[in-house]
Structure 1
Amino acid sequence: MTPFGARLRALREARGVTLKEMAAALDVSAAYLSALEHGHRGRPTSGLVHQINAYFGLIWDEADEMAGLARRSAPRVVLDTAGLSPAATEFANRLAAAIRDLPPETIEALAALLPPEG
């Protein structure tokens, strides 16, 4: 599941909206929304994010949060370490190989070391 998918599902469930109802309102398929929620589809377009924000009545900070989550929700990430140090390349490869087995607290600790998104 992607960060965007998790937030979308939480919003939908909190408002008691089914996939089918939301899909009809957004003029997309319920299968697409389900795949988006489960991280089986790539990032949503900015247009779809805008539609979702309007559907749920999200404005200001909440709408910005959804847009940010969408930007950070590519389920298949590619890291280009060309031109970086050998240590950076090794780290990227080790992380790619190990990420599925890392406990959530380790992922959170690593994420805390990254600079804030800006």
Structure 2
Amino acid sequence: MTPFGEKLRTLRGERGVSQKDMAAAIGVSAAYLSALEHGRRGAPTWTLIQKIIGYFNIIWDDAEELARLAEASHPRVRLDT
């Protein structure tokens, strides 16, 4: 799980929002949202970050932290051995 994914899951949990409901509200699939949370997708676009910030009504420092976490989050690298 990426730092962004952990924060996103925490925000959803604090507000009691399901992935399905949040995904529908911000215009992505629940599968994509799940992949973001679990680190199977790269960092979200700036536009998607803004939608998430608006969805949770996050302001100031919290919004900047979420954007910073998104930039720093990359999917896990898996090596087949």
TM-score norm. by structure 1 comes to: 0.63
Partner of residue 45, structure 1:
45
Q: Could you tell me how far 1:75 is from its partner in structure 2?
A: 1.9
Q: Could you tell me how far 1:49 is from its partner in structure 2?
A: 0.5
**Structural RMSD (CA):** 1.0
Inter-partner Cα distance in structure 2 for 1:71 and 1:33: 16
Larger radius of gyration: 1
Inter-partner Cα distance in structure 1 for 2:41 and 2:12: 18
Inter-partner Cα distance in structure 1 for 2:75 and 2:34: 14
Which amino acid in structure 2 is aligned with residue 34 of structure 1? S
5+ unaligned residues in a row in structure 1: which ranges? 78-118
Q: Which has the higher contact order (CA 8 A, sep 6+)?
A: 2
User: In structure 2, the residue corresponding to 1:17 is in which secondary structure?
Assistant: coil
Partner of residue 64, structure 2:
64
Q: Could you tell me how far 1:74 is from its partner in structure 2?
A: 1.2
TM-score norm. by structure 2 comes to: 0.91
